[in-house]
Amino acid sequence: MRSLDHLFDRNVAWADRKTEQDPTFFRRLSEQQAPQYLWIGCSDSRITANDVLGLDPGEVFVHRNIANIVHTSDMNILAVLEYAIEVLRVRHIIVSGHYGCGGVQRAMAEERGALVDHWLQPLSMFYRKHRPLFDGMGEAPQQLNRLCELNVEMQLRRVAATPIVEGAWLRGVELHLHGWIYGMHDGLLRDLGATVASIEERDALPSIDQRVTQRSEPLSPRRRHALEAFSALGLADMASPPCCMPSLEKPPK
């Protein structure tokens, strides 16, 4: 059997480096887990929630699977949701996908039969239902990225429909659900605008079928900050007319 001693060596180097930077790091980490956030994301090896969010271990509770799919019969994710809300008392649940997702791309494929296709079946059916609309969205990368966005919105609605989340809202628990997407090409998260914090807000969301043709531009932090900066200025304060505001950041083609 091939040895993985090099990984143990890297672990020792990492632990030594963390201790040198912060002698109390591991003691504090072992004393409690009190994250404010639950991250439901893709298993893609290039994305780790703590790194993307710039948070230390212990600050975000994480659930990951292929294409960040939420099956309401999946005991794994239901247990994670219950533990996060009832025990850890998280106040924000982030459903995050990423552009160019291989799982979402598989859902668009004609091939069928593998176990992963059973996992992706709800998304595959959604894509086939709206295939003519996706075909009109441009080349394959543009279609894939749009489905990646819609997949996040679909899974957020599924989280919001679970009795666990609904029960928390009925008890008056402050719980916010956010739909985000990550760009591999620039390392930035983008807010898809699908944020709900109550049963009423959930029920007011347009159907996921409607969202296929109602795309709103996802907001990255840079785009959001630029809009906030310009909105704080009056027209008389601007050195150039509003048409010269920052251009929208686009997902990769």
- Give me the residue label for tokens 């176990």: 115
Catalytic residue selected from 63, 101, 146, 157: 101
Q: b/e per residue, 98-126, with b = 16+ CB within 10 A?
A: bbbbebbbbbbeeeeeeeeeebbebbbeb
46 is catalytic: yes
- 3-state SS track over the chain: CCCCHHHHHHHHHHHHHHHHHCCCHHHHHHHCCCCCEEEEEECCCCCCHHHHHCCCCCCEEEEEEHHHCCCCCCHHHHHHHHHHHHHCCCCEEEEEEECCCHHHHHHCCCCCCCHHHHHHHHHHHHHHHCHHHHHCCCCHHHHHHHHHHHHHHHHHHHHHCCHHHHHHHHCCCCCEEEEEEECCCCCCEEEEEEEECCHHHHHHCCCCCHHHHCCCCCECHHHHHHHHHHHCCCHHHCCCCHHHCCCCCCCCC
74 is catalytic: no
Whole-angstrom distance, CA of residue 61 vs CA of residue 83 = 10
Catalytic residue selected from 10, 17, 28, 46: 46
Catalytic residue selected from 44, 178, 190, 202: 44
Catalytic residue selected from 98, 106, 178, 211: 98
* 176-182 and 189-196 strand pairing: antiparallel
148 is catalytic: no
Q: Cite the active site residues.
A: 42, 44, 46, 98, 101
